[in-house]
Amino acid sequence: MVSQLDQLKAFTTVVADTGDFKQLAQFAPQDATTNPSLILKAVQKPDYAPLLAETVAAHKGAPLDEIVDHTLVRFGQEILKVIPGRVSTEVDARLSFDTEATLARARRIIKLYEAAGTDKGRVLIKVAATWEGIQAARVLEQEGIRCNLTLLFAFTQAQACGDAKVQLISPFVGRIYDWYKKSAGSSWDEAANAGVNDPGVKSVARIYAHYKQHGIRTEVMGASFRNVGQILALAGCDLLTISPDLLAQLQAADAPVTRHLVPADAVEPAPAPLSEAAFRYALNEDAMATEKLAEGIRAFAVDAGKLDGLIEAQR
């Protein structure tokens, strides 16, 4: 029988969500994504300690933030040896509200990749989907630097990313699910909110339908999954980025996979672009998105700080 993972690949581009590049080959993903938490987790494993030490030693005397970027790019290079497609490398989350600083960091990361012989077309710069991050991505896209807008929870964030013509967005399915489950408390009905009825799945499906209906070329990549059911309910999405644990579950199962998301039959004109004020008000009205965006930035910032500490200890 054909595994669910292989069946899913017939509808959707499968992406591995990990910094552990030694795990990748067994799942044969097209692309891979990283973030500060995943890189921090990887560099603390014995297998990757030498890589970090070599990178730090090669750039002794350089500013800390520059060594961090060299480390991120080194992991990206190793990942690109295993996959045929693109790797997403994230700008420091502590810059999420600074457009100019995000631009400078993104440009430097791309230059480091190019200096190492990597075509920039194989790299997606990952930026938080704040207003400032989206505006930085707008400029980067105009410069030919492709972007992945992350920490995306609200429909308004997806609208603004489409307006900015970014390459790809990563709506966080699992974290949306987490918020609604916690909010409902004892009244939460797991069965009634599973599969296509999962609030995170519904959010991604709405964004996908909007993009396809209006001919918006931004790719939709569901992310942050809590279970296989969420993944299978989004079969047909442009891309899905999946952790190694869930990839293994999909590889071990062979039940039939049904496509749920399909492009629209007809394309309608896109709505007028959102203003900054409209974006901020709509985001403010969405309690879930406001809370999860702030929480996500804080968590990534904490892990970025821990990575700084590991590098600082070896300088």
How far, in Å, CA of 311 to CA of 160, rounded?
36
How far, in Å, CA of 27 to CA of 134, rounded?
32
Catalytic residue among 22, 41, 45, 126: 126
How far, in Å, CA of 58 to CA of 70, rounded?
10
Q: Is 126 noted as a catalytic residue in this protein?
A: yes
Q: Is the distance from CB of 94 to CB of 65 less than 8 angstroms?
A: no
**Which amino acid makes up residue 47?**
D
How far, in Å, CA of 112 to CA of 214, rounded?
36
Angle at 228 between CA 223 and CA 234, to 5 degrees: 55
Within 13 Å, how many C-alpha atoms sit on residue 69's CB side? 22
Return the closest-CA partner of residue 24 out of 65, 66, 82, 78.
82
Beta bridge partners of 220: 169
Query: Annotated active-site positions, please?
Result: 126
